[in-house]
Amino acid sequence: MEPGNCHDGHPWEVASNGKCDADAVVTYLGGDPQLDAVKPSVEAHVATVGDQKVCVVGQRGQPFVGTLRQVLSSEKGQQFRWCRVTTTGVKDVDCASPHDEEVLGNAVQGQDCTAMIARYLGLSGSTDVPTDLNASPPVMINGVSRCVVSATASQRLNRTLRGLENRALPIA
């Protein structure tokens, strides 16, 4: 793999010269591995750049202009957060697209997801989820236990719920 310029479209970006697991990727992207999940199309693998083994991250089939570092804390982060449409089967989408539910970070089976979802929403000190949201118990998705949050009454969302606090739901 040859080094390139982040200001040009690029499929991969060096994230670290150390760990190359899901937690390391979420951290590099500016998220909290306990709360944030990225779409399955965001991938990481070990590559050789020059004579060094490094961890590279990218989004399958979608070159990116700029850096991915801390992208989850920016408006562009919507493209990388993991949301799903579940009305006719299950389809992974980015959180800027209309969606039914948002997938959160790792959960423990048997755990109550409401406290995690409250933290994800930015409701500090609260362990309750607003009544216009549904909190699922942990579910297995792609072999990992996750918490999932959705709007009530079959409403579609069109933005991430991350950091929403007490603002109105982003209804499509």
Rounded alpha-carbon distances, angstroms, from residue 12 to 22, 109, 170:
15, 33, 31
- Does residue 142 register a pLDDT over 60? yes
The pLDDT of residue 163 is 94
Q: Where are the domains of the chain?
A: 13-77, 81-151
User: What is the pTM for the complete model shown?
Assistant: 0.89
Closest by Cα among 146, 122, 123, 124 to 135: 146
- pLDDT score for 3: 61
- Structural element, H or E, at residue 135: strand 133-135
Query: Tens of pLDDT along 65-120?
Result: 889 999 999 989 999 999 999 988 899 999 999 999 999 998 888 888 999 999 99
Tens of pLDDT, residues 22-55: 999 999 999 999 999 999 999 999 999 888 899 9
Q: Mean pLDDT in the chain?
A: 90
CA–CA–CA angle 118, 119, 123 (5° rounding): 65
